[in-house]
A and B are shown apart, each in its own frame.
Chain A
């Protein structure tokens, strides 16, 4: 008898490979991944490609794109290099996007988990708070928080996280409510596992896939919120931001429309990449879901 005849199953391909095979079936998702990679690359190489402060004067003001090779995408009314602004803006957008998403998911997971796991008055109280946050228009609340806390980049990130946790909280709550009655949770409880461990070690890992998919939506929203703040001139003035560039470009819209259009296209492509990425993740993580 050779080893070939044993009933050992052939080795399963690693999970990551399976995931990748499912992900790449969606061609739009591949485009999203490609765009995302470009944005990340721009953020990482901003200091290499465009050394020096992106807010410094780099050439004569209002040079149109493709005229001067030193400033390939032209300059704004203060002579700042638009290409440098795009690269450094990618850094700020991603930084704020990732940090604000982590804050929002963290708050959402804690509130949703407590609410869905314990039910009863805890659920009632936390859900009323969630509804209150959903009722207040989030951009108005964001403006108020920024007015109170100030325009520093850390505070803006925190404020964006604070206004966008309600949707993940509801999602986590729904997942917990459906999972808390399952056998594996009962088993863990009978073994004397503490509530904290059940919530974070038993249920949460099972509730993660939809949260990960939704994180891409929050990421896109966070970037849109930050750029809207910066557009209104309420962002951190010490950093180049796409929203801020568009806001400044508004003043010269008549004569030099590219000042506003180029960073605008950057925002559109970045947000688009996150939506496509989210769809791809959804297909790959929830393969049984009906299309």
Chain B
């Protein structure tokens, strides 16, 4: 419990730094809220603009503005989106579910398949199986997700007609219950594959190296001498320790995966945060963009916290108390 609390407190300065960072980015961007507002209205006279600036606190010293901005962010008030004519927080909440779903499917796929292939490759080092798996890993690593997406679309949607090209569900389907779940799952197959293959290759390579290292340790030899079968040896003795670095990587890379969803969601027109980020850049909707950065950072912090707890559970050398 104290361990968990300490980890949470360590995240506070990072979040404050990110708040300052988004504020600086907003200040760096050409134009401010009032410019956007006036542009939206189609122009206004100078006196009115000055009054608006005062109303929004934009005439205050920078550090006062920064303080107010941080207070607002702390209550998840991200301001107003002049593109969607809605509070940014509402838009983000609307999009969050899709992205979290895509994250969950991609990471679980990458993680399970990655560690399985890595463990198989490590048990037969330098065999044909190992070479095949390692080569696959290298190719997955080098293939950009957008290229993979297009090639999958070409094969599975255009040529074979098995999977839908985009969207999260069939628009005129009005499915309910299990039909709905199945429909969403069909829409998620290609985005999940496109997003996860590169991370799958990371986990595979790390797991392979990690299993090779752990399998050499004395306690594994002892277990083998005591007559533990290969299967039991792998699952009970090697896996648990070999998984530790992979879990660290999972936490560290979560933010990269979230970033990768921008490309994948845009290609497959999934209505998530990534697609919103791309649209906000194109439409210069800075408030929404900053909201996405902040929300994504919070998600990353939470996920890192959870992986830390998981890590501490798996590695009993780390004191939880």
Contacts and interface: CB of A to CB of B under 8 A. Distances in A.
A198 interface: no
A137 B256 contact: yes
B142 A136 contact: no
A136 B144 contact: no
A134 B142 contact: no
A261 B255 contact: no
Interface residues of B, number: 49
Nearest to B198: A224
A209 interface: no
B67 to A, nearest CB: 18
Interface in A248-291: 249-250, 253-254, 257, 260-261, 264, 267-269, 271-272, 275-276, 290
Contacts of A134: 252, 255
Contacts of A247: 146
A23 interface: no
Q: Would you call the interface of chain A mostly helix, strand, loop, or mixed?
A: helix
B289 interface: yes
Looking at A135, A143, A247, A249, the one whose CB has the most chain B CB atoms below 10 A away is: A135
A139 B29 contact: no
B17 A129 contact: yes
B142 A128 contact: no
Given A136-B297, A254-B158, A147 B289 contact: yes
Nearest to B292: A140
B250 interface: no
A177 interface: no
B277 A140 contact: yes
Contact of B17 (A132, A144, A147, A260): A132
Interface string A216-238: 00001000100110011010000
B300 A135 contact: yes
Q: Would you call the interface of chain B mostly helix, strand, loop, or mixed?
A: helix
B33 to A, nearest CB: 15
Contacts of A129: 17
A146 interface: yes
Contacts, number: 136
Contact of A227 (B144, B281, B301): B144
Interface size class of A (residues with CB under 8 A): 35 or more
Given A140-B259, A147-B289, A250 B142 contact: no
B8 interface: no
Given A139-B262, A140-B262, A268 B142 contact: yes
A134 to B, nearest CB: 6
B176 to A, nearest CB: 33
A137 B300 contact: yes
A131 B305 CA distance: 13
Given A132-B14, A132-B18, A136-B21, A147 B139 contact: no
Interface string A2-30: 00000000000000000000000000000
Contacts of B21: 132, 136
Contacts of B144: 224, 227-228, 231, 243, 264, 267-268, 271
28 contacts: A132-B14, A132-B21, A134-B252, A134-B255, A135-B297, A135-B301, A136-B293, A136-B296, A137-B296, A139-B262, A139-B263, A140-B296, A141-B293, A143-B281, A227-B144, A227-B146, A228-B263, A232-B262, A234-B281, A243-B144, A243-B146, A253-B150, A257-B154, A260-B151, A264-B151, A271-B143, A272-B142, A276-B138
Interface of B: 13-14, 17-18, 21, 25, 28-30, 138-139, 141-147, 150-151, 153-154, 158, 213, 252, 255-256, 258-260, 262-263, 266, 274, 277-278, 280-281, 284, 286, 289-290, 292-293, 296-297, 300-301, 304
